[in-house]
Structure 1
Amino acid sequence: MTYTPREIVATVALGLPAVLGAGVFAGFAPAAGLAGWWVLPALAISAFAALCSAFSTADQSHAYPDVGGGYGYVRAQLGVWPARLTASAHLLGRCAMAAAVALMFGAYVVPDQPLIGALALVAGTVLLGAVGFRFTVGVSVLVSLVVLGVLALVVASSFSIAPVPSAGETGTANELVGVAGLMFMAFAGFERITAPHRGERPHSASALKIAIPVLIGLSFVVYLVVGAGVLRQLGSARLALSPAPLRDALVAADASALVPLVQIAAAVAGVAALHFVLLSAHRTLTGLVEDGDLPTRLKPGVLTFAVVVGSALAITLMPIAIALGVAACSTLFYYAFTNASARVLLQNDRTWPMRTACLGLGLSVLLAMSTPVPALLISLAGLGAGTGLIGLTATLREKRAASRQHTPQARTPGRS
């Protein structure tokens, strides 16, 4: 199947708003605290891991077009329990990512009441989805232009004025791999194009063969340039303490007049990224219901409410640095299972060689295990608790179904 340049541009534009979220606006602060300037080469490792994982999800999406994301792929290829582990990792990662995006929005747009701003963003985004709003190609292009335009202004300002001498530098090269794991979440929105939702037109394999590297590559360049700009202007020590690095970089560069533009871009990017995150979590819950791992009587509205409650709890309980770490670690575990299932696809279902899935699997495990210890422990605990809860729910449902089958029907009185 052939593709046109217009199709490639549309596909990349559709994916960019899902990628340019909390990572570019807030991710550099905790990363700089761990590795300083080493965060920039760490981005290359993150991008490569994301590229391999994107290839795997794209192949599986074409092999199983009616299956709901990674949970469905793993269930079809590896079985029930690996799929439940995958679903737990994905749901925890989505809730943590929703918290990170919402807290980023609060820090930039409502700095006096960031928690209230974060919760308001979740409520507003859910209401937008409820009234039928969708990020079409046209809307996605507009969002991308706004965000990229403001990021360009931040970078230009950061490099146009000499920075104030920094009070010191933080981080070491020893944290290179850990920061690569932390920054993986900055690229994790690629499923917006590699695994479209039901009802959306799937992208052709030939178009994705170009669009995926372009999307990941463009995102990498954006993150690299923005990271270099804020690091130059603030220094790693000041950057590590900043709740809103792009805003503080503008203030330090004597460009405070541009701060409202950054707030607009943060708001637009926050809504776009959160919309994708919530929709992705809803799809996994829907798959669990359809396969009987959750009660089949659960309605879409109940699933939406569950996603909102999980996101609100994460917002309330996790500071943004922890939320970013848990989002990255849990998502990496999710892609470890997704890459593992992609390894056993038949050759006819492949666009990319099996070694890309092998690389994705190895990198996902390595980066997940290298994330900051608090994030790793929370992720492992959540993974265990979520998988156990899903398994228990499915077991109880099966027992009730079996008991109903073996219960003798009451006899209707009749003549003897």
Structure 2
Amino acid sequence: MTHTPRDIVATVALGLPAVLGAGVFAGFAPAAGLAGWWVLPALAVSALAALCSAFSTADQSRAYPDIGGGYGYVRAQLGVWPARLTASAHLLGRFAMAAAVASMFGAYVVPDQPVAGALALVVATALLGAAGFRFTTGVSVLVTVVVLGVLALVVASSFAIEPVPSAGEAGTASELVGVAGVMFMAFAGFERITAPHRGERPHSPAVLRFAIPILIGLSFAVYLAVGAGVLRQLGSARLALSPAPLRDALVAADASALVPLVQIAAAVAGVAVLHFVLASAHRTVTGLAEDGDLPTRLRPGAISLVLVAASALAVVLLPVGLALGTAACATLFYYAFTNASARVLLQNDRTWPMRTACLGLGLSVLLAMSTPVPALLISLAGLGAGTGLIGLTASLRASLRGRREESLQHTQRARTPGRS
């Protein structure tokens, strides 16, 4: 089958709305507080880790087209307990990411009541998904055009006017690796094209061979331009304190008239990314239920309610900086397992060499362990609690099933006449 450049462009456009979210609108503030201008070279490390992880998930999606998602891949390749760890890391990362995206929306769109705005976004996006709305290629192209157009205006405005001299600089070069871990979330939406959900058309290896590097490369270029613009206009110390960096950069550049456009872009990007985040978490919970690690009678509506409640709790408990750090740390642990499982794929199932999975595994562990200490501790606690809870639920279900079978056999023997 011949694949045209149009197929590649459409695939990249489908993935961009899942990438351009909280990272570009809010991520530079906590990152600048840690590493200052070093956040820009740190982005290159984040992009490399994302590229390797995208290759791994794409290969596993091809090898296991009916499973979908890292939990299923790890269960098939590495076993039950590694899969439960993977699921715990993924769900914790999704909930924290949902909190970061929703908080970004509240800070930009409803600055007077940011928490209320964040909670409203979580509920509205869940209802949108329950109503059957999907981000098709056409809708994704429209979202991409709106967000990229506004980001281009922000960058142009930031470089058009000489900034006011900054009172000081924040961050140090020693935090470069830790910031690379935090900013990994800037690229983590690539599974939108590398691991499609059930019922979605998978993308061929020939298309992904070009689409994945283009998606990661284009995202890197966008983040680099936006980061350089807001750092130039605000300085790292002022940027670190900003709840809405792009808005404040426009105000500092005497371009306040463009602030409503940034609010529109933040709202559009927030809905697009949160839709992907909730759908991804829904897939993992569904997989756990289908494999018997969670109650098999869970209905899609009940799963959606649980996801909304968990995301709302994360919004209330986690400030945006801590939410981004936790999301990055947990998600990096998730990709450590998916890269590890990709290493043992057969050669015939590979599009990319095994070395990319090995590099992705090493970078994922390194970046996860280098994230800020509070985010690392929350992630480790969440992984332990989540894995233990999943294991306990599975054990209880297996015990109850065994008792029912034993009771049924006893009843059948009692009804069967004895033989001499």
Query: Taking structure 2 as the reference length, what is the TM-score of the superposition?
Result: 0.98
Determine the C-alpha separation between the residues in 1 that align with 2:68 and 2:289. Answer: 11
| % identity of equivalent residues | 84
Shift of 1:395: 0.4
Q: Is the contact between residue 8 and residue 211 of structure 1 (CA under 8 Å) also seen in structure 2? A: yes
Counterpart AA for 2:231: L
The equivalent of 1:100 in structure 2 is: 100
Deviations 1:129-166 (A, max 9, x none): 11111100000000000000000000000000000010
Q: Is 1:300 matched up with 2:287?
A: no
Counterpart AA for 1:79: G
The equivalent of 1:3 in structure 2 is: 3
Counterpart AA for 2:240: A
Q: Is the contact between residue 2 and residue 207 of structure 1 (CA under 8 Å) also seen in structure 2? A: no
The equivalent of 1:392 in structure 2 is: 392
Q: Is the contact between residue 85 and residue 383 of structure 1 (CA under 8 Å) also seen in structure 2? A: yes
The equivalent of 1:185 in structure 2 is: 185
Determine the C-alpha separation between the residues in 2 that align with 1:252 and 1:302. Answer: 46
Counterpart AA for 1:59: D
Shift of 1:170: 0.6
Query: Taking structure 1 as the reference length, what is the TM-score of the superposition?
Result: 0.99
Q: Is the contact between residue 13 and residue 140 of structure 1 (CA under 8 Å) also seen in structure 2? A: yes
Q: Is the contact between residue 108 and residue 244 of structure 1 (CA under 8 Å) also seen in structure 2? A: yes
The equivalent of 1:363 in structure 2 is: 363
Determine the C-alpha separation between the residues in 2 that align with 1:413 and 1:65. Answer: 47
Q: Is the contact between residue 74 and residue 338 of structure 1 (CA under 8 Å) also seen in structure 2? A: yes
Alignment map for 1:13-412 (pairs within 5 Å): 13-407=13-407, 408-409=410-411, 411=414
Determine the C-alpha separation between the residues in 1 that align with 2:57 and 2:63. Answer: 10
Greater alpha carbon shift after TM alignment, 188-197 vs 2-11: 2-11
Q: Is the contact between residue 2 and residue 206 of structure 1 (CA under 8 Å) also seen in structure 2? A: no
Determine the C-alpha separation between the residues in 2 that align with 1:350 and 1:2. Answer: 20
Counterpart AA for 1:69: G
Shift of 1:405: 1.2
Determine the C-alpha separation between the residues in 2 that align with 1:116 and 1:139. Answer: 27
Task: Indicate the SS of the match to 1:409.
Answer: helix
Counterpart AA for 2:320: I
Determine the C-alpha separation between the residues in 2 that align with 1:206 and 1:275. Answer: 27
Aligned length: 416
Deviations 1:243-285 (A, max 9, x none): 0000000000000000000000000000000000000000000
Determine the C-alpha separation between the residues in 1 that align with 2:355 and 2:32. Answer: 32
Determine the C-alpha separation between the residues in 2 that align with 1:132 and 1:85. Answer: 30
Deviations 1:58-114 (A, max 9, x none): 000000000030000000000000000000000000000000000000000000000
Determine the C-alpha separation between the residues in 2 that align with 1:170 and 1:216. Answer: 28
Shift of 1:412: 5.2
Q: Is the contact between residue 43 and residue 224 of structure 1 (CA under 8 Å) also seen in structure 2? A: yes
Task: Indicate the SS of the match to 1:123.
Answer: helix
Q: Structure 1 409/9 Cα, relative in aligned 2: closer, same or farther at 3 Å?
A: same
Counterpart AA for 1:399: S
Determine the C-alpha separation between the residues in 2 that align with 1:293 and 1:97. Answer: 24
Counterpart AA for 2:270: G
Shift of 1:194: 0.1
Shift of 1:394: 0.2
Determine the C-alpha separation between the residues in 2 that align with 1:17 and 1:297. Answer: 33
Determine the C-alpha separation between the residues in 1 that align with 2:237 and 2:206. Answer: 45
Deviations 1:272-319 (A, max 9, x none): 000000000000000000000001011111111111111011001000
Determine the C-alpha separation between the residues in 1 that align with 2:90 and 2:183. Answer: 17
Counterpart AA for 1:102: A
Counterpart AA for 1:398: A
Deviating above 6 A after TM superposition, structure 1's stretches of 4 or more consecutive aligned residues are none
Counterpart AA for 2:147: V
Determine the C-alpha separation between the residues in 1 that align with 2:15 and 2:220. Answer: 13
Counterpart AA for 1:228: A
Shift of 1:413: 10
Determine the C-alpha separation between the residues in 1 that align with 2:4 and 2:395. Answer: 49
Determine the C-alpha separation between the residues in 2 that align with 1:280 and 1:25. Answer: 21
Determine the C-alpha separation between the residues in 1 that align with 2:232 and 2:367. Answer: 26
Determine the C-alpha separation between the residues in 1 that align with 2:189 and 2:301. Answer: 24
Aligned-CA RMSD value: 1.2
Shift of 1:7: 0.4
Deviations 1:159-190 (A, max 9, x none): 00000010100111100000000000110000
Counterpart AA for 1:212: I
Q: Is the contact between residue 181 and residue 329 of structure 1 (CA under 8 Å) also seen in structure 2? A: yes
Q: Is the contact between residue 68 and residue 196 of structure 2 (CA under 8 Å) also seen in structure 1? A: no
Counterpart AA for 2:123: A
Unaligned stretches of 5+ residues in structure 1? none
Determine the C-alpha separation between the residues in 2 that align with 1:306 and 1:338. Answer: 25
Unaligned stretches of 5+ residues in structure 2? none
Shift of 1:3: 1.3
Determine the C-alpha separation between the residues in 2 that align with 1:254 and 1:38. Answer: 26
Determine the C-alpha separation between the residues in 2 that align with 1:413 and 1:338. Answer: 51
Counterpart AA for 1:84: R
